[in-house]
Chain A
Amino acid sequence: MDSLNSLIDGFGTALTPANLLWAALGVLLGTAIGVLPGIGPAMAVALLLPVTYGLDPTGAFIMFAGIYCGAMFGGSTTSILLNTPGESAAVVAAIEGNPMAKAGRGAQALAAAAIGHFAGGMIGTILLVVLAPTVASLAVGIGAPDYFAIMVLAFIAVTSVLGASRIRGLASLLIGLTIGLVGLDQMTGQQRLTFGSLQLADGVDVVIVAVGLFAIGEALWVAAHLRRTTGEAIPVGRPWLGRDDLRRTWKPWLRGPLIGFPFGAIPAGGAEIPTFLSYVTEKRLSKHRGQFGKGAIEGVAGPESAASASAAGTLVSMLTLGLPTTAVAAVMLAAFQQYGIQPGPLLFEREPELVWGLIASLFVGMVLLLTLNLPLAPVWAKLLRIPRPYLYAGILFFAAVGAYAVGGEALDLVVLLVIGLIGLGMRRYGLPVLPAVIGVILGPAAEQQLRRALQISDGGVTGLVNTPFSVTVYAIVVLILAWPLVYRPAVVRRRGGRKESDGTGTVSGG
């Protein structure tokens, strides 16, 4: 078992006192920021990115793994105690978790979520250890046309699979690609969209784009529609589970990852579908089906475990192919690029210490998460009562710190604000934010691979499809594109059967 040895080496890196400290600090910060209402995991990770700037890459990523674990977990506390899920993956946790909290079983709901997160994350990360090196060794031989095909797949997947409207997803992607064009052309040094500005010649830093779109855009959008009466958070004691609850939750904890991990690993995006699937499965298998909707603990345990495993699944494609499929993975890829490290098949060969240290830290982070968060839950619950002006002023403040720390230039703050205003407009008009971030991150890389591939084939377009791998990927792309043509009439037919008068209604997207 080669990967087992590497993993043990990884633990050797992760368990040094200094790195353990960084991981613990990361978990605490990640949970604290992730618990805050209105801050989803992607924003939490983006806001905390500058904290790692001063460390060496290995230490930085170990801390980052802690932040990642904590931020992914923090959101479920918010949705259980406030019933206002910050992101789509946490919706399901609120369906059952909030009624439980209202009925005085908040402690049990939090415990089911926390242990579910732990179980899902553990199983997911074990699957990552098993799968990632295999995928990487398979992918090691792929060339420029294959990379380009994968990136096209990523672009199509984020614009088509996620979100309600393809045309709006595409618009968002193109905005991202345009931002990615700014700067010097990587191959010829030609200035593009710089308008003679020296600062712009360096390009717009990915971190600034991510912080601008996720943090500033969100803060401004909330500011425009700030709810004057905020929901009351339900106070909660120390999470614990009785024997009866344990009997009901251990199976959902173990079933969740089976649903969550595969969905995370393929570029179908996010934990939205697997959490919902897990919820439906648990409802069907439960002996307490009547409790569902009124606070069934299985409905918290299963989906939380699925969400956590799906997050581990996204790391497979992110680490081995450099392909981010969720917003959090996109920010993580930006963090890698910040250190001049390009995730991909060669990552496991070139940076074994870093990548295995990172994976080992995920395990360490999960354990820390469980041991720290169960006793600290009442403290986290207090964070939910933070006055909203302070919360959003704080987001703007830390976003400014992050953007400024990237290069120490005041102009970056202006760029950050402009991108934030774009993010605000995108939220107002229903343009999804993720395709833009993916466009900025993958756009320049995709262009480089495209040009390399065509250079090899001397300009022939066949140079893009001359490997079995790329042909397969393009076939998947065609399938994704053709899917609504097959699927939508079926939906309309089903809906038409139930309600005769209900036609296709308004056209919601192209």
Chain B
Amino acid sequence: MTTEPTGPTGPAEPTGPTGPAEPTGRTGPAEPTGPTQEPAPKQDTTRSWLRDHSELGVCALLLAIGALVLTDALTMSVDIAQRGPIGPRTVPFVVGSALLLVAVLLAVDVLRGGRGEAEGGEDVDLDEPADWRTVLLLSGVFLAAAVLIGPLGFPIAGALLFWGSAYALGSRHHDRDPLIAAVLSLATYFLFDNLLGVPLPGGPLMGVI
């Protein structure tokens, strides 16, 4: 296992060299760098402990969301006339508090040895270590498509999304892949825009054709 399987929602990174550190709830990819270079035996046990308990990152994330919901409810201006005995703040208060409570209960469960079971599937091989590089690449490609769909239009951005994703997933047919991507994207564009009546942006390409 080379990369730490913490998932992008809550990387568990040691905050200090001593003791079982509470994982931080930062969002973002797991960082392989960090204060973990010296191979001190104590640090090693800390790391394996954290790897076993990476689910605590979920607790941290729930805690963070709970705090966010509660803060938002507290800072809400309630001078707007409140209709009925329950205003707009009550339910956020309940949800936020419940999030904090569940975060604590889940942490207790994890520390007592409970584990969430990773989901299986037709193409899922759980015996292999997680390949977070592919996930990162796919996310990047997807974000790029989101940025490009405005200026370049759907046919080009969609083709890039498909080609990039297929490449990230390990397809290396450099002749076939772009062709499939272009045909799929154009066909989808015409199907939705012309036949099904769902508008998609054509972009500069459609101005040329």
Contact = CB atoms under 8 A, between A and B. Distances in A.
Among B5, B162, B168, the most chain A Cβ lie within 10 Å of the Cβ of B162
B121 A222 contact: yes
B76 A428 contact: no
Interface in B44-58: 55, 58
B168 A167 contact: no
Among A168, A189, A224, A459, the most chain B Cβ lie within 10 Å of the Cβ of A224
A424 interface: yes
B100 to A, nearest CB: 10
Interface string A154-182: 00000000001101101100110110010
B8 interface: yes
A454 B134 contact: no
A151 B204 CA distance: 48
B82 A188 contact: yes
B80 A424 contact: no
Nearest to A83: B122
A38 interface: yes
Given A404-B154, A455-B84, A429 B118 contact: yes
Contact of B134 (A178, A223, A413, A509): A223
B106 interface: yes
Interface stretch (A126-134, A316-324, A344-352, A390-398): A390-398
Interface in B163-209: 163, 165-171, 180, 184-185, 188, 192, 196-201
B114 A85 contact: no
B38 interface: no
B134 A226 contact: yes
A382 interface: no
B135 A430 contact: no
A226 B166 CA distance: 13
Interface stretch (A50-58, A304-312, A360-368): A50-58
Contacts of A510: 105-106, 108-109, 114
Contacts of A425: 7-10, 58, 61
A209 to B, nearest CB: 15
Contacts of B112: 506-507
A417 interface: yes
A428 B200 CA distance: 34
B138 interface: yes
A454 B84 CA distance: 7
A405 interface: yes
Contact of B62 (A171, A227, A414, A508): A171
Interface string A80-93: 00101110000000
Contact of A167 (B69, B76, B105, B163): B105
B116 A429 contact: yes
B65 interface: yes
Interface string A394-435: 101110110011001011011001000110110111110000
Contact of A38 (B121, B135, B149, B201): B121
Given A85-B122, A404-B200, A410 B149 contact: yes
Interface residues of A, number: 86
Contact of B80 (A189, A220, A405, A506): A189
B7 A428 contact: yes
Given A226-B123, A401-B158, A413-B142, A421 B106 contact: no
B1 interface: no
A417 B142 contact: yes
Given A226-B170, A394-B184, A220 B139 contact: yes
A165 B130 CA distance: 23
A169 B75 CA distance: 29
A181 B92 contact: yes
Contact of A222 (B116, B123, B147): B123
Given A54-B197, A174-B99, A413-B142, A428 B118 contact: yes
Given A174-B62, A221-B119, A230-B123, A168 B106 contact: yes
A503 B81 CA distance: 58
A322 B90 CA distance: 24
Interface in B67-97: 68-69, 72-73, 76, 78, 80-88, 91-92, 95
Contacts of B78: 190
A396 B163 CA distance: 11
B21 interface: no
Contacts of B142: 216, 396, 400, 413, 417
B128 interface: yes
A192 B135 contact: no
B95 A178 contact: yes
Contacts of A167: 102, 105-106, 109
Contacts of A177: 95
Nearest to A79: B122
Interface in A230-276: 230
Among A396, A430, A455, A509, the most chain B Cβ lie within 10 Å of the Cβ of A396
B124 A227 contact: yes
A450 interface: yes
B75 to A, nearest CB: 11
A228 interface: yes
28 contacts: A37-B122, A54-B197, A84-B121, A164-B117, A165-B114, A165-B116, A185-B88, A216-B142, A220-B139, A223-B131, A224-B130, A225-B125, A225-B131, A228-B128, A393-B166, A396-B165, A405-B192, A405-B200, A410-B146, A424-B7, A447-B91, A455-B84, A459-B84, A459-B85, A506-B113, A508-B115, A510-B108, A510-B114
Interface of B: 5, 7-10, 55, 58, 61-62, 65, 68-69, 72-73, 76, 78, 80-88, 91-92, 95, 98-99, 102-103, 105-106, 108-109, 112-119, 121-126, 128, 130-132, 134-135, 138-139, 142-143, 145-147, 149-150, 154, 158, 161-163, 165-171, 180, 184-185, 188, 192, 196-201
Given A225-B130, A400-B158, A458-B85, 15 more contacts: A54-B192, A54-B197, A174-B62, A178-B99, A192-B73, A193-B68, A224-B132, A225-B126, A226-B131, A388-B169, A389-B170, A390-B171, A401-B158, A428-B130, A507-B114
Cβ-closest 4 pairs across A and B: A430-B116, A54-B197, A459-B85, A425-B9
